[in-house]
A = this chain, B = another copy of it.
């Protein structure tokens, strides 16, 4: 087994590229799996993307993303409808999972518990739709840095509590950037077991860039011990793809082939224990 057999390129890492160019890039670098985003998929066309992926023989390790459940009233209903579309797309693409970024506090709201209740409510509405289509939903706990404006789901433990009402159709996405600091991480990964349906890697770098959305680094450029984290994820039983998803302005400004070469090199050097 090649050390990069499980490596997946999340499109966001090469943000300037469309679906076609991202697929070409994977093929040039012998990467067998890709994490897709809905917007570029829509731009290329869903059917055309399905065809392209099939022809290239790639796995789709995730579709990013559904979620944004925390509004109330008509905005909530709209979000549910939009997520039904995302589930259909994940089904068509045979994605290993649909990533769910649950959303932050609604404008002007300070009701964190209320926002978290909306996530539970949304799952109740969406899970049957996902089950009917054979799509796995992946709850993504997010670093507390994003709790206010992006994701009120803040820890792996909290995500697993949400999973408990459901079968294997609801799991968790473990993203190193979001969970690396958690003192309960080892125990919650053990608890998660087969609930781990996606493992994403990128590094926590300091000082944080001014735009914290773009604060993620190439593995090895920051503070995360990927060998240890990877071994914990493996010990929990995860054998799926390992997806590199990096939001970073400097990386986005770099030649994609160079990004790919660096990514493969860093992945191989930092993730030994995961393979």
Q: Which of A's residues lie within 8 Å of B, judged by CB?
A: 105, 110-112, 116, 143-145, 147-149, 154-155, 157-158, 180-184, 204, 206-208, 210-212, 222-225
Contact = CB atoms under 8 A, between A and B. Distances in A.
B210 A183 contact: no
Contact of A154 (B111, B147, B183, B224): B183
Nearest to A204: B148
Nearest to A208: B212
A148 B181 CA distance: 8
A82 to B, nearest CB: 23
Q: Give the oligomeric copy count.
A: 2
B206 A148 contact: yes
A78 B96 CA distance: 52
29 contacts: A105-B223, A110-B223, A112-B180, A112-B181, A112-B225, A116-B183, A143-B144, A143-B145, A144-B181, A144-B182, A145-B145, A145-B208, A147-B180, A147-B181, A148-B181, A148-B204, A148-B222, A148-B223, A149-B206, A149-B207, A154-B181, A154-B182, A154-B183, A155-B182, A155-B184, A157-B183, A207-B212, A210-B210, A212-B212
Contacts of A111: 225
Nearest to A108: B223
Contact of A224 (B110, B180, B182, B207): B110
- The 8 A-B pairs at the shortest CB distance, nearest first, are namely A210-B210, A147-B181, A110-B225, A144-B181, A148-B223, A158-B183, A145-B145, A149-B206
